[in-house]
Structure 1
Amino acid sequence: MRLHRDFDTTLLLLAVALTCLGVVMVFSSSCVVAGEKYGDAFFFLKKQLKFALVGGLLMALTMYVDYEFWRKIAIPLLLLGICLLALLFVPGMGVTAGGAARWLRLPGITVQPAEFVKLGLVLYLASSMTRKKEKIRSFKLGLLPYILVLGAILGLLLLQPDLGSAMIISGVALTMLLMAGARWSFVVPLVLSVLPAVYFMIMHVDYRRRRILAFLNPWKDPYDTGFQIIQSMIAFGSGGVFGKGLGGSEQKLFFLPEAHTDFIFSVIGEELGLIGVLAVSGIFLLLVLRGLRIAWYATDPFARYLAFGLTLLLGMEAFVNMAVCLGLLPTKGLALPFISYGGTSLIASLVAVGILLNISSRIEVPQ
């Protein structure tokens, strides 16, 4: 064994490649809409470049910040994220778009607190589970405190409403707890007990119920609830194997809603074809494997939990977004990490990679 003193350059290159592709695809998918709405075809490109620059600088910084630092400030960061979520409901501070108040207006910037909460929760869980060790197998001392924290976060998310982020956070948290040794006999009944509530929140809220029905049969209502997924399918289908070429998408011309955000993967499918779709999926798969490799070789429990949680977060978000675009899951308002337009998501993803890179420089790997 040897001390791996260098950063995982493969992981770094994968993150940079996805970010660069994201900048290109944001411009390609948004230039027409930006020109029509703002009179500037480069409107979203210029913003995404700024986000990428800030995110890149923060990634470079976190690469050199000892991961132990995050253990010390995990709880304050999580509390800050929860406070930001709560501020969404203060009149004049929450920005509503698409019927949901998910963005917070601060002096000079607009942020999405859910992205920070995701990072904060992973840091908190990794730090707390390291301290509890075998106590994690106890319900009262191990699982119950996490249920209370998770419940508070989910409550604020569902009030926005943001069911997509709530489900991602739940999946990441429960998987991390099981990895740390939480009893299946506690976790499984817990999940089963909340399923009726999930069913009620979906089937008794009109727009969610319509989304589920549209997912099952989008052609039943092709001009309303099924419109988005149908246009996405048309984009993938018309792209063929090699695509129409960069900038050649027709679905982005006011047919495909959210073409530069939630459904940017569909534009990739149309312009870069099956080859592009497989390439992007492959890069995400390699990124997840590199993250899991870092977690596997980490001997410090905190580093292992942290690397696993961050990798799981990035992987789950990418999988859900791509599955939605392909019509394999109901429509959710989740960004594709590194690629979708949006500053908070991009910066949070790059910070997560920066932390993973720092852990990679402190692990032992086989020669």
Structure 2
Amino acid sequence: MERRGEFDNTILLLAVVLTCLGVVMVYSSSSIMADRRYADGFYFLKRQGVYAILGFALMAAAMHVNYQVLRRLAVPFLFGCVLLLGAVFLPGLGLSAGGASRWIRLAGISIQPSELAKLGLILYMAHSLAKKKGKIKSLTWGFLPYMLVLALLLFFLLLQPDLGAAITLGCVAMVMLFVAGTRLVYFLSAMILTTPFLYFLVMNVDYRRRRIFAFLNPWDDPTNTGFQIIQSWIAFGTGGPFGNGLGEGRQKLFYLPEAHTDFIFSVIGEELGFAGVFVITAMFLLLVLRGIRAAQAAPDDFGKYLAFGISLLIGLEAFVNFAVVMGMLPTKGLALPFLSYGGTSLVTTLLAVGVLLSVSRQAKGDGI
């Protein structure tokens, strides 16, 4: 008999609070820029609000659907993601910006397929890992097939190019395989084989190489390659313990590039201070821990891998964003889940949380 318990209300509350805070901070960080660019200070606020409503609707639908239904969609969904990744290069359908082709436009709506591909890979791997069980230690059946699927996705991502999404997908896949029991020697071999290729991708591309040098010493070029991280440091530094107050930040006034997207956490640091940074970091940590607990309590392997993969993705993206804006990792465009402006990212994240809540509803034992 199907078990129907209570949802993990902590995960639900954290997702709602973070999303609502994100809508507020998107407005705070973008209103002046939106007024100058679009003659409408509410431009990004209105759009992010619509994305949030759509995301909440999908989350509500997903959390009330038995996650086992998703097993039948795992392969078709991944196949659809591959088609969308290829569609970004089609004239008239794909959109380019800043030298990258990462979006498609359907019915007047821009979609970033790489965000869907992250969820697609997790869903596929959860389904496949649960089905293989004892074969996971086999090189032929338990490692190489996933490397081939991953290589196909990375091929399209590197063509766009989107190295950040490619690395994220690679890390998620490897950790899920490790948790499933794949032999350590396979990981070490893969790392040895891919390290020269990764070095080539970074050091032979001018803007990526300059980002590495800027990360090592941003003060060598403070008005160009080091400008973004220096402005981010200034934002955190001027925020102090409790911040300058919501809406009172100065770095967003055309000093801090991408203030409402990749560097929104810097605006939070300036306006809400260390207290705000600490609370948001703690909220992400708690959400990931509750997600892992839901994975441990799931009644079947598919649910365990699915919940763990979603929790891992949210935690990894948050950690990388935190590290980038604080200068602990080289600058790379990667949205902060729930908080950064972006429709596909927010909607996909909330959909994933809905799936995670569905798993938590079926938890074994006394609940979580």
* TM-score normalised by structure 2 residue count: 0.98
Letter in 1 for 2:75: I
Letter in 2 for 1:83: L
Unaligned runs of 5+ in 1: none
Letter in 1 for 2:176: M
Alignment of 1:33-72 (within 5 A): 33-72=33-72
Aligned residue in 1 for 2:5? 5
Q: Distance between the aligned counterparts of 1:75 and 1:106, measured in 2?
A: 23
Aligned residue in 2 for 1:28? 28
Q: Distance between the aligned counterparts of 2:192 and 2:92, measured in 1?
A: 38
Unaligned runs of 5+ in 2: none
Q: Given that residues 4 and 365 in structure 1 are in contact (C-alpha distance below 8 angstroms), is that contact kept between their aligned partners in structure 2?
A: no
Q: Distance between the aligned counterparts of 2:113 and 2:175, measured in 1?
A: 22
Aligned residue in 2 for 1:262? 262
Aligned residue in 1 for 2:357? 357
1:4: Cα distance to partner? 6.8
Letter in 2 for 1:219: W
Q: Given that residues 218 and 227 in structure 2 are in contact (C-alpha distance below 8 angstroms), is that contact kept between their aligned partners in structure 1?
A: yes
Q: Distance between the aligned counterparts of 1:336 and 1:192, measured in 2?
A: 30
Q: Distance between the aligned counterparts of 2:251 and 2:179, measured in 1?
A: 42
Aligned residue in 2 for 1:99? 99
Q: Does 1:334 align with 2:334?
A: yes
CA deviation map 1:189-233 (0-9, x unaligned): 111210000001101110000000000000101111111111101
- Residue aligned with 1:273, SS: helix
Aligned residue in 1 for 2:149? 149
- Residue aligned with 1:308, SS: helix
Q: Does 1:177 align with 2:177?
A: yes
Q: Given that residues 4 and 360 in structure 1 are in contact (C-alpha distance below 8 angstroms), is that contact kept between their aligned partners in structure 2?
A: no
Q: Distance between the aligned counterparts of 1:246 and 1:321, measured in 2?
A: 21
Q: Distance between the aligned counterparts of 1:211 and 1:93, measured in 2?
A: 30
RMSD: 0.9
Aligned residue in 2 for 1:90? 90
1:91: Cα distance to partner? 1.6
1:130: Cα distance to partner? 0.7
Q: Given that residues 15 and 338 in structure 2 are in contact (C-alpha distance below 8 angstroms), is that contact kept between their aligned partners in structure 1?
A: yes
Q: Distance between the aligned counterparts of 1:102 and 1:279, measured in 2?
A: 32
Aligned residue in 1 for 2:209? 209
Q: Distance between the aligned counterparts of 2:224 and 2:103, measured in 1?
A: 25
Aligned residue in 1 for 2:227? 227
- Residue aligned with 1:363, SS: coil
Alignment of 1:116-135 (within 5 A): 116-135=116-135
Q: Given that residues 103 and 111 in structure 1 are in contact (C-alpha distance below 8 angstroms), is that contact kept between their aligned partners in structure 2?
A: yes
Q: Distance between the aligned counterparts of 2:275 and 2:192, measured in 1?
A: 40
Aligned residue in 2 for 1:166? 166
- Residue aligned with 2:265, SS: helix
Q: Distance between the aligned counterparts of 1:73 and 1:154, measured in 2?
A: 21
CA deviation map 1:84-119 (0-9, x unaligned): 000011122221122211111112210000000000
Aligned residue in 1 for 2:18? 18
Q: Distance between the aligned counterparts of 1:98 and 1:259, measured in 2?
A: 16
1:364: Cα distance to partner? 1.6
Aligned residue in 1 for 2:77? 77
Aligned residue in 2 for 1:194? 194
Q: Distance between the aligned counterparts of 2:32 and 2:296, measured in 1?
A: 45
Residue range with higher mean Cα deviation, 51-60 or 3-12: 3-12
- Residue aligned with 1:190, SS: helix
Q: Distance between the aligned counterparts of 1:221 and 1:4, measured in 2?
A: 58
Q: Distance between the aligned counterparts of 1:332 and 1:102, measured in 2?
A: 15
Letter in 2 for 1:301: D
Q: Distance between the aligned counterparts of 2:253 and 2:118, measured in 1?
A: 33
Q: Given that residues 243 and 270 in structure 2 are in contact (C-alpha distance below 8 angstroms), is that contact kept between their aligned partners in structure 1?
A: yes
Q: Distance between the aligned counterparts of 2:133 and 2:171, measured in 1?
A: 21
Q: Distance between the aligned counterparts of 1:94 and 1:265, measured in 2?
A: 29
Q: Given that residues 135 and 142 in structure 2 are in contact (C-alpha distance below 8 angstroms), is that contact kept between their aligned partners in structure 1?
A: yes
- Residue aligned with 1:101, SS: strand
Q: Given that residues 4 and 364 in structure 1 are in contact (C-alpha distance below 8 angstroms), is that contact kept between their aligned partners in structure 2?
A: no
Q: Given that residues 299 and 362 in structure 2 are in contact (C-alpha distance below 8 angstroms), is that contact kept between their aligned partners in structure 1?
A: no
- Residue aligned with 1:365, SS: coil
Residue range with higher mean Cα deviation, 57-66 or 88-97: 88-97
Percent of aligned pairs with the same amino acid: 58
Q: Distance between the aligned counterparts of 2:101 and 2:271, measured in 1?
A: 32
- Residue aligned with 2:143, SS: helix
Q: Distance between the aligned counterparts of 1:190 and 1:334, measured in 2?
A: 24
* TM-score normalised by structure 1 residue count: 0.98
Q: Distance between the aligned counterparts of 1:365 and 1:254, measured in 2?
A: 53
Letter in 1 for 2:17: A
Q: Distance between the aligned counterparts of 1:4 and 1:329, measured in 2?
A: 43
Number of aligned residue pairs: 365
Letter in 2 for 1:310: I
- Residue aligned with 2:105, SS: strand
